[in-house]
Amino acid sequence: MSDLPLHRQFHHFSELPYSQRVLFTGVLIVFGIGYLFALINLFHTYAGKGTGNPYAMSAQDIVAAYAGTGKSSRLESALSGSMSSMLPRDENNEIVNWVRNGLDRATLDKTIRPIFEKRCFACHDGSNPHLPNLGDYEVLKKLGEMDTGTPVFTLVRVSHIHLFGMTFIFFILGFMFSHAYVRPVWLKCVIMVLPFCSILIDIFSWYLTKVFHPFAYVVMLGGGLNGVSFAFMWVVNMYQMWLMKPPESVLRRLGGDLPVARLQSAE
């Protein structure tokens, strides 16, 4: 640990008002729950997309998501991947055979639509603009085309949402972390800037994966660094805010909610 004196404008968590610490804690709790749900959604979206195994996620699944399988239609890829557990195997095979046989309209009305109504329309009825409407034949024809992965302009739309949203989250998390006592200071700065670098690495690798599949590993690396950064700052913030004894350099100066008697006893 470094013995460098504290910056005159640095305030440790213990020097902040209780009201501010309570506010920080509430935000951290909601952020933590939100990140867990994001991980669950990430796993559900990508696991099995390329391998067919919905219980594990690999680089092959990332490639299938961004560059496509190049072997089957988008509808088939979904049925063999993330949607494979949503309907029985016999019904799954019936839809796949229908797609491979040219998406005949008469077969759709007679055999396939009842399956969609029973198994899929709870989510894919057109009410959610982010999910394909399986009741629209034109949409089904597009889903029956060769899987080339996520369209570039869809990536653009997701990218700007991701960039704004994640930057906002890590700015707040990093602002809280700026009140943590971490030495050496350069390490603290690296930890704070790491998630912003990992966001850029992650997003730009989406596009690169479409043209060079090994970049799928870079996507996973960027996401991993993002998660590690989030977890580290979250734990340090909560620990130093409520459990850790303030550093001696903090106890030696007046400020915040530290009573004078406590400060004198620490001398």
pLDDT tens, position by position, 75-133? 887 887 767 788 899 999 999 999 989 999 999 999 999 999 999 999 999 898 878 99
What's the pLDDT band for 158 if we cut at 50, 70, 90?
Answer: very high
Q: What is the distance between the alpha carbons of residues 213 and 62, in angstroms, rounded to a whole number?
A: 9
Eight-state DSSP code of residue 111: I
Eight-state DSSP code of residue 79: H
What's the pLDDT band for 264 if we cut at 50, 70, 90?
Answer: very low
pLDDT tens digits along 12-22: 999 999 999 99
- The answer to whether 141 and 103 have CB atoms below 8 angstroms apart is yes
The pLDDT of residue 44 is 86
pLDDT tens digits along 44-88: 888 888 887 878 899 999 998 999 887 788 888 788 776 778 889
Report phi then psi at 214, rounded to 5.
Answer: -60, -15
The pLDDT of residue 8 is 86
Q: What is the distance between the alpha carbons of residues 117 and 59, in angstroms, rounded to a whole number?
A: 33
Q: What is the distance between the alpha carbons of residues 45 and 65, in angstroms, rounded to a whole number?
A: 9
- The residues spanned by each domain of the chain are 13-44+150-265, 70-143
Nearest CA-CA partner of 2 in 259, 252, 177, 247: 247
Handedness of CA 221, 226, 227, 231 (dihedral sign): positive
Q: Indicate whether 183 pLDDT > 60.
A: yes
Of the chain, the end-to-end C-alpha distance in Å amounts to: 20
Nearest CA-CA partner of 206 in 197, 219, 196: 219
Which residues have CB under 8 Å from 69's CB, separation 6+? 50, 77, 147
Q: Indicate whether 196 pLDDT > 50.
A: yes
Helical spans, DSSP H, in the chain: 18-46, 59-67, 74-80, 89-100, 105-107, 113-119, 137-143, 152-177, 185-211, 215-242, 248-251, 260-265
The pLDDT of residue 85 is 80
The pLDDT of residue 249 is 85
Handedness of CA 97, 99, 102, 103 (dihedral sign): positive
The pLDDT of residue 261 is 45
The pLDDT of residue 52 is 75
pLDDT tens digits along 210-263: 999 999 999 999 999 999 999 999 999 999 999 999 888 888 875 544 544 444
Which tops the pLDDT comparison, 194 or 53? Answer: 194
